[in-house]
Chain A
């Protein structure tokens, strides 16, 4: 963390103290929200919160480890099914059963890692997608998991109905906050530095002693576990899960395009993307397909004209880097050594 004190002040950025204050403020805001707004709005915000967490976890993998996944719905579905199956089988309260989701999803990520991390770029992306399809098919034909009818969460009956939605809101809100904070802490750490080095130049990073394989494994496990927990919270609030919804590729489509539109590889971009997504969805509330048509079109267009995304481009233009994970030596000029990564941030 000491390196952060050496940040130059060219960019507008938040230091550690401001960040802690901001996090506390957001936490307080989240705590009081259920007392001031109605249930319908809360339900929408549950979705917003879980989606923020998913998008942050996706961005962690794509933006900082360079691994674009088109199959992240596998963790959403697996997380949801783990929660439902575990809670129904053991009778443990659904809230406490949530813990099982990230554990199983993290383990799953670790198991698939040796196979998938051998693939690069497009092959990793589509390999994840194929894997997600396989898991979806298996879940939808195994009788234990209710085949294509899915499972209902029985434990829900024992919960206090009045507090169910607020508690789901808190879970989702704090999960969203935690996902941003975790990304920030992780990326500002030694591990994060190594990770970004691997993303930018694998061979050079390995030569400098970064364990390429271990850092990719770690990030895949964290991303999988986080996405799984978010999926579990989302379906907890719906207390029912079916494979066609939980393993829907549209989850990955959302994670991917929200991040791309907002800005891949920085922590504020996905939040901007989320706001935009819900705005688009409100506009096309009666024509669901158009949300995705617009999302796909915007994603393609942004990759063409502003690959850093809306926020990424704005931030580069105006020197904003609110949740920075970049390290700058005392003399900022020194950072401009030849190489791919520095070419991309001439403006900073």
Chain B
């Protein structure tokens, strides 16, 4: 029973991990850009959420929406103002620019907020839980998991069912041909990065409600997000969810085997997949 409970909790945590990876997978799928500042955006959103919560006492749903909107604007500006300038150059340029940004943001956050660990205390729901068939399940983790899965579904539907989604896909396939059909790929890229950072922002607020975070939390979140993307198969949305679930379970099972091992078992899972399934889960299915 103990192990089953670990696995269930791992799945709940893993859906949040999947959400960490969703924005990264989306941006990579559309633009072939790995945004190294993804983790810092998650933490920045957590701080923003905390600040708004403490200042205005916004309710958690409204709070998440506001932070997501800010995330969208930040992502759009980053892509439109900065990353679009280096599209045709060295493929490493976006990576290095966002790495610089992430180092800058991380140290600025330490400077502004201090290195102490913080959290968004949304009250009684944090600790609330219920029992199903002898398993203790927290209400908050369950809510977070359903939000994550809904976002996966929403993004997938947006991509496959809406005209805008198809325009995005066309841009991803060939920006120049898309432009011939009247799609401004620079603007599309901006919106795509906006969506990606908005996803990171939502993940950040959920993370802050669920557990503690510090300005240094970003690096680990980026690594998780990256692993989720690779495990899932590059750019695959459903693969990312599966990757997240796998990592969540690996993380908690690992901690149970050896406490103090941190993300070791999650990293290990990533490397095993890299060796044995280089294309990730999405490729393997086909």
Contact = CB atoms under 8 A, between A and B. Distances in A.
Contacts of A127: 274
Contacts of B107: 289-290, 292-293, 296
Given A115-B271, A130-B271, A304-B86, A257 B261 contact: no
A126 B263 contact: no
Contact of A299 (B82, B92, B100): B100
A299 B96 contact: yes
B93 A289 contact: no
Interface in A269-296: 287, 289-290, 292-293, 295-296
A137 B223 CA distance: 14
A138 interface: yes
A70 B100 CA distance: 12
6 contacts: A126-B36, A130-B270, A296-B107, A300-B100, A300-B104, A304-B97
B104 A297 contact: yes
Interface in B237-269: 258, 260-264, 267-268
- Give the dominant DSSP class at B's interface: helix
Contact of B226 (A130, A249, A287): A130
Contacts, number: 116
A101 interface: no
Nearest to A138: B264
B5 to A, nearest CB: 24
Given A121-B92, A137-B262, A300 B101 contact: yes
Interface size class for chain A? 35 or more
A295 B264 CA distance: 29
Interface in B71-103: 82, 85-86, 89-93, 95-103
Given A289-B111, A296-B103, 11 more contacts: A70-B99, A121-B92, A122-B91, A125-B92, A130-B227, A130-B270, A290-B107, A293-B111, A296-B99, A297-B104, A307-B89
B212 to A, nearest CB: 19
Given A289-B111, A304-B82, A307-B93, A134 B258 contact: no
Contact of A256 (B86, B99, B106): B99
A300 B230 contact: no
B255 to A, nearest CB: 12
A249 B103 CA distance: 11
B196 to A, nearest CB: 15
A201 to B, nearest CB: 13
B82 A296 contact: no
A129 B227 CA distance: 11
- Give the dominant DSSP class at A's interface: helix
Most-contacted residue by chain B among A119, A126, A290 (CB, 10 A): A126
Contact of A296 (B101, B222, B258): B101
A115 B274 contact: yes
A325 B227 CA distance: 37
Contacts of A4: none
Given A134-B264, A303-B97, A296 B274 contact: no
Contacts of B275: 115
A9 interface: no
Lowest 5 CB-CB distances: which A-B pairs, in order? A300-B100, A296-B103, A296-B104, A299-B100, A122-B34
Contact of B96 (A68, A131, A133, A134): A68
A123 B264 contact: no
Interface in B210-229: 219, 222-223, 226-227
Contact of B100 (A126, A141, A290, A297): A297
Given A115-B274, A126-B34, A300-B104, A260 B96 contact: yes
A319 B271 CA distance: 45
A98 B95 CA distance: 35
A63 to B, nearest CB: 11
A253 interface: yes
B51 interface: no
B103 A292 contact: yes
A118 interface: yes
Contacts of B274: 115, 118-119, 127
Contacts of B93: 303, 307
A133 B95 contact: no
